[in-house]
């Protein structure tokens, strides 16, 4: 079968990939953790680099034939260092969760205490939540948000840190619509002698584009995925400023947790970092925030309950309780209307995680398509129409009409990377 195309070798999978490409082209993608990569990133991902094993690091491999791979990984590392202003970068983690687990392996022993944001408040599973290995193997303490404001309670963070003396503190998460106060977290970490890890998976592109403050100079280590707002492939990076922390992280990634890196992903990361260093990426990052704020204003004006009252970044978290509907049925109805979101817990949610009160939306993907504030206002109107109709129990006509209107809109804004 060497040399044969995917369509001739496996037409079933080829057809499904084509269907997914069509779905992505026709959908208003509002999932905050998703984006469209460029054709260049796609091309780098699907290359012969996937054929090569490269355990170790550039210049120190356990396999021969690394003349090209070493250059690719070195370029990716140097681009990460330059873009984020750090002294050290590791581009080998397979994804965000393994990257975060490497931080535990680098700085903690099983049973040590970690302080992270609770999952129901916007934190990540790997910040010590109970169902994660990080919550099972370590003593996890969790902070949240103030009920009145929906914002991180830094007084609570400090009180918990002083009481429990964690060795590791995580800041960042998956459903935080407000600016993360890295200096405040750093002050608390110094006070208790903890390593501060900034998880910027969601906001890395905003940080790189100057649309969100950087954790560099405040956090000891930084973890991030390379997709989401950074518009790269599904991978991850770890960064640090000190030699000591970098050495510990490198040993934790390999040989601590992983074998050979995915070289095709490394190349795609390098391409994405190159793209993120261009002047137009700053304009993109700024527009992501403008779009999110325009969409938030539209939704708030239509009576939606936004956690924290709005957004400073790419992400909006909404509690649908006042609308008389749960997040799951709303998200499924919106998906049928061509508006792709995810249902999500909200702070102090009385409902179960698989049937929560809220939905989470974001603007990275629609901004990549070139949409602006006017389109965000239209999207907000569609969300309101669908949610209101579903709550009333008579939504199919509305869903059908909105889907047709969504298709008309997406036709005007071709998605990057898709044919």
CATH code for the domain in which residue 368 is found: 3.90.1150.10
Q: Of 276, 300, 335, which residue sits at a domain end?
A: 276
Domain range for 387 is 289-412
Could you tell me if 192 and 301 lie in one domain? no
Could you tell me if 271 and 295 lie in one domain? no
Domain count along the chain: 2
Residue 26 belongs to some domain of the structure: no
Could you tell me if 248 and 155 lie in one domain? yes
CB 91 within 8 A of CB 76: yes
Catalytic residue among 45, 174, 224, 225: 225
What is the spatial order of strands in the sheet that 342-344 belongs to?
A: 305-306, 315-319, 358-362, 342-344
Which structure tokens are listed for 308? 């924290």
Residue 169's Cβ-side half-sphere holds a number of Cα atoms within 13 Å equal to 29
> CA 273 to CA 83: how far, in whole Å?
7
Residue 401 belongs to some domain of the structure: yes
275 is in an annotated binding site: no
Q: What is the CATH number of the domain that holds 209?
A: 3.40.640.10
> CA 345 to CA 119: how far, in whole Å?
9
The tens-digit pLDDT sequence of the chain (419 residues) is 556 799 999 999 999 999 999 999 999 999 999 999 999 999 999 999 999 999 999 999 999 999 999 999 999 999 999 999 999 999 999 999 999 999 999 999 999 999 999 999 999 999 999 999 999 999 999 999 999 999 999 999 999 999 999 999 999 999 999 999 999 999 999 999 999 999 999 999 999 999 999 999 999 999 999 999 999 999 999 999 999 999 999 999 999 999 999 999 999 999 999 999 999 999 999 999 999 999 999 999 999 999 999 999 999 999 999 999 999 999 999 999 999 999 999 999 999 989 999 999 999 999 999 999 999 999 999 999 999 999 999 899 999 999 999 999 999 999 999 97
Could you tell me if 240 and 384 lie in one domain? no
Catalytic residue among 29, 167, 228, 360: 228
Active site residue 385: no
Catalytic residue among 199, 305, 319, 375: 199
Residue 56 belongs to some domain of the structure: yes
Q: Of 246, 276, 306, which residue sits at a domain end?
A: 276
Could you tell me if 131 and 239 lie in one domain? yes
Kind and range of the H or E element at 161? Answer: helix 154-164
Residue 328 belongs to some domain of the structure: yes
């Amino acid at each position: 079968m060497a040399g044969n195309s995917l369509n001739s070798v496996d037409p079933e999978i080829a057809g499904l990939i084509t269907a997914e490409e069509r779905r992505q082209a026709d959908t208003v993608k509002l999932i905050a953790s998703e984006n469209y990569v460029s054709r260049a990133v796609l091309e780098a991902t699907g290359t012969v680099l996937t054929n090569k094993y490269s355990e170790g690091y550039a210049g120190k491999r356990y396999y021969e034939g690394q003349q090209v791979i070493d250059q690719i990984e070195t370029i990716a590392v140097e681009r990460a260092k330059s873009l984020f202003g750090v002294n050290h970068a590791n581009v080998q983690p397979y994804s965000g969760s393994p990257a975060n687990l490497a931080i535990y392996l680098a700085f903690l022993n099983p049973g040590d205490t970690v302080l992270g944001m609770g999952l129901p408040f916007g934190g990540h599973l790997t910040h010590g939540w109970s169902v994660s290995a990080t919550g099972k193997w370590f003593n996890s303490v969790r902070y949240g948000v103030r009920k009145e404001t929906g914002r991180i309670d830094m007084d609570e963070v400090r009180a918990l840190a002083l009481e429990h003396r964690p060795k590791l503190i995580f800041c960042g998460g998956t459903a935080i619509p407000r600016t993360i106060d890295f200096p405040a977290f750093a002050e608390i970490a110094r006070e208790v002698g903890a390593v501060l890890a900034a998880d910027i998976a969601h906001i890395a592109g905003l940080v790189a584009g100057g649309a969100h403050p950087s954790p560099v100079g405040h956090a000891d280590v930084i973890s991030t995925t390379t997709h989401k707002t950074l518009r790269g492939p599904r991978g991850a990076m770890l960064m640090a400023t000190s030699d000591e922390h970098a050495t510990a992280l490198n040993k934790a990634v390999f040989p601590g947790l992983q074998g050979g890196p995915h070289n095709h992903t490394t190349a795609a990361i390098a391409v994405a970092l190159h793209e993120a260093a261009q002047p137009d990426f700053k304009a993109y990052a700024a527009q992501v925030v403008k779009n999110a704020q325009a969409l938030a204003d539209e939704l708030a004006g239509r009576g939606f309950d936004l956690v924290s009252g709005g957004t400073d970044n790419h992400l909006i978290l909404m509690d649908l309780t006042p609308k008389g509907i749960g997040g799951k049925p709303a998200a499924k109805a919106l998906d049928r209307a061509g508006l792709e979101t995810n249902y999500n817990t909200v702070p102090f949610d009385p409902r179960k995680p698989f049937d929560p009160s809220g939905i989470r939306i974001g603007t990275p993907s629609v901004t990549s398509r070139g949409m602006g504030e006017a389109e965000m206002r239209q999207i907000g109107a569609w969300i309101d129409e669908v949610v209101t109709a579903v709550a009333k129990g008579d939504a199919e006509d509305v869903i059908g009409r909105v889907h047709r209107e969504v298709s008309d809109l997406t036709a005007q804004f071709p998605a990057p990377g898709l044919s």
